[in-house]
Chains A and B, each alone.
Chain A
């Protein structure tokens, strides 16, 4: 067991999967020579050579389309889009080609593409670089969407994503790259579509994902000081998400708070909350609280931007509301 960073965990997953399967290839902007704008792909060009690890021009749509075509040609591509914001340039290829082709061709092709995308705000990068765009992918049938919160999950879920035969959108949070945590040696791929209960409790359930999982855990600590035991559920996979684990938890605690970094309108929290209402309505002792990002494009100014992103006190306030 070693403590490694989220970034290195991803690097290890890529390395191990490429060693294991010769059909795994990796490409994107500045991933090879530059070793990645966030340095996630450090050392991979050196190890595997240009045939398997190469740089592309600034052509997000073609990067995704090329991955789709390579998958049709029996490769297992893991392209990187430098940030999730640039995925918008490639939306047609993602939502209207990659996601639909298997279905529309009557199941005659398999597209084992894993698109890695860092995302998330909070670093004064301005509106165009700060989206949490998971919603668009989660809404689209044909895609699988994964968003790990911990280094161990990053490694295990990336391995699973690469081995899965379906198109996977693998989201990483830029703010977590340096976060270090225990990762078991030889960790196996984790099952996709399974949430994790990171903290047990009886008084309320806090559901979160990505960087917000850590916010939820911090809030749970603060609540514990007042004698409130919060159960924290990390979704890990956003589509398909683990309804059973979440609703079992709410059936036990009777109260729920859902936390997301993205704005609330038609968001992940809306989806989770509605399902909780539908499935365990009679277990609820209070309406569900959503804690979401502000419904604005993110501003540049430091404090103003921070006001747009949920922090532990926001989650604590929401928890107090459902406990009232």
Chain B
């Protein structure tokens, strides 16, 4: 039985998405055939068949995410029964490459280890920070000759105690009082009684044997290096020691919104359950986060779209434009007059977008997709209509590029085609406002003391209160209503169209 596994299509790939199987169980296949389309972190590639036979079993269906190396199907050779496809749990699954042979850590030093120091390094007498420096050789000499360095004045640069000072002391002479580097002397005298200042990293490093990088990391992660046991040479504290300690400190994590809900328990005969596909789960996570984090507020107005609908019919001969396209154009014009709504809030930062990138919610049989029409401020109504339609087509056939899906600065969603009278959409980040467009209902209103019937279309703004205030939203909505009710301005060229010289 030939095992078809999720292939490793790029060096960085760890999981892949089966987009679509091109074969089904029972199909005959040959070496070189394409079994499925698979998406890696970089591109969509064809999954090649390397065996002749019959597809015995497909273990993961379309739209599923599978780890690299996991079995996704079995191919039975001629004469082999399909039943020979054992359950993956029964067989030892192919270990992902990372586990196969644990790579031993590379040798830290290049070349043979250096020969040991000529004399065994004795442990130096403990010297606190701020006292005079001592050369390594002088330190060794002092140890050998039994001289207490604290009793010697250094004559080297910066008041350093060097060999001749130790030798002089050993010979019974008074330590040479004149340092050959005069400017350093006052510092040395002062340094004898150091103020109890916070220890600088360099000083700390002298007391605890710790790798400098490890010390920086310890400070960053709030780990007290003095409490660590070093696993490096001679008990030195290494980067690994600090990182292990840092990981052991439980971080205060925000609760995941899902966890707050009790899980749904049921008997097997009550319901069927399946793992939600990748896209579904991603969508669920994002929508939950939006509702959970962003403080939503809603304001609604009705607009009389009788004139708008008439205009729509007029332009039908030249180009098809839907009510949504008109609304998009109106939103763009309104945003130009109220640019503050074209901003986003993110973790203490205000992001002011340079263009108006309209997000438009599209219903496809793959689920809800928001396509993004970039730089809508440059587009006339006809362009908006044409480009939006092209994007919708792409969304429906799964061909949107990354740019066409990202950073909507203002999102439009329309449920009017389903006769919905009013709804409050969930904000689609990074848009600060998401507008929900409802159906245009014939509605009686009072005008000039008479009752007339208008086509009243309600629009609701769902606003991110972190960056949009009630008054701002209300002013924006007023402008928008006016544009919707008198759409002449929407049919001309956008005002910032570039003039060719």
Contacts and interface: CB of A to CB of B under 8 A. Distances in A.
A226 interface: no
A275 B135 contact: no
A251 interface: yes
A324 interface: yes
Contacts of B180: 324
B114 A281 contact: no
Contact of A286 (B115, B119, B121, B135): B135
Contact of A324 (B114, B115, B139, B157): B157
B92 interface: no
A265 interface: no
Given A324-B156, A324-B180, A324-B181, A285 B117 contact: no
B118 A285 contact: no
A255 to B, nearest CB: 9
A190 interface: no
B114 A285 contact: no
Given A286-B156, A324-B157, A279 B115 contact: yes
Contact of A251 (B118, B135, B160, B162): B118
B118 A280 contact: yes
Interface in A280-324: 280-286, 321, 324
Interface string A222-248: 000000000000000000000110000
A282 B138 CA distance: 8
Interface string B98-140: 0000000000000000110111010000000000000111111
A7 interface: no
A322 to B, nearest CB: 10
B379 interface: no
A313 B118 CA distance: 32
B156 A281 contact: no
B332 interface: no
A283 B114 contact: no
Contact of A285 (B119, B137, B181): B137
B181 A284 contact: no
A84 B140 CA distance: 45
A243 B139 CA distance: 24
A245 to B, nearest CB: 13
B114 A278 contact: yes
Contacts of B163: 254, 285
A282 B118 contact: yes
Contacts, number: 47
Interface residues of A, number: 16
Residues of A contacting B: mostly: helix
B84 to A, nearest CB: 42
Contacts of B162: 285-286
Nearest to B112: A243
A254 B114 contact: no
A286 B134 CA distance: 9
A283 B156 contact: no
A275 to B, nearest CB: 7
A280 B116 CA distance: 8
Nearest to B135: A285
Contacts of A275: 114
B135 A280 contact: no
A95 to B, nearest CB: 17
A139 to B, nearest CB: 11
Contacts of B137: 254, 282-285
Contacts of B119: 282
Nearest to A282: B136
Nearest to A278: B114
A242 to B, nearest CB: 13
Interface string B21-60: 0000000000000000000000000000000000000000
A271 B273 CA distance: 66
Interface string B435-468: 0000000000000000000000000000000000
Nearest to A251: B118
A110 to B, nearest CB: 22
Nearest to A279: B114
B345 to A, nearest CB: 46
Contacts of A281: 117, 136
Contacts of B114: 243, 275, 278-279
A25 B88 CA distance: 65
A284 B136 contact: yes
Nearest to B164: A285
A244 B114 CA distance: 10
Nearest to B160: A286
A260 to B, nearest CB: 21
B423 to A, nearest CB: 64
Nearest to B109: A278
Nearest to A286: B135
A282 B162 CA distance: 12
Contacts of B181: 324
Contacts of B138: 285
A279 B117 contact: yes
Contacts of A284: 135-137
Contacts of A278: 114
Nearest to A240: B111
B396 to A, nearest CB: 50
A98 B140 CA distance: 47
A290 to B, nearest CB: 16
Contacts of A244: 115
B41 to A, nearest CB: 30
A29 B384 CA distance: 67
A135 B139 CA distance: 35
A282 B156 contact: no
Contacts of B135: 284-286
Contacts of A321: 157
A132 to B, nearest CB: 24
Contacts of A282: 117-119, 121, 136-137, 139-140
A189 B121 CA distance: 40
Nearest to B156: A324
A47 B54 CA distance: 76
Contacts of A286: 135, 156-157, 160, 162
Interface string B180-221: 110000000000000000000000000000000000000000
A324 B157 CA distance: 7
A189 B106 CA distance: 37
Contact of B117 (A243, A280, A324): A280
B313 to A, nearest CB: 70
A224 B195 CA distance: 45
B31 to A, nearest CB: 32
A186 B139 CA distance: 50
A134 to B, nearest CB: 19
Given A275-B114, A283-B140, 17 more contacts: A244-B115, A279-B115, A280-B117, A280-B118, A282-B118, A282-B119, A282-B121, A283-B118, A283-B136, A284-B135, A285-B162, A285-B163, A286-B135, A286-B157, A286-B160, A286-B162, A324-B181
Interface of A: 243-244, 251, 254, 275, 278-286, 321, 324
10 contacts: A254-B137, A254-B163, A282-B136, A282-B139, A282-B140, A283-B136, A285-B135, A285-B137, A285-B163, A286-B162
The 3 closest A-B pairs by CB, nearest first: A285-B137, A282-B136, A285-B163
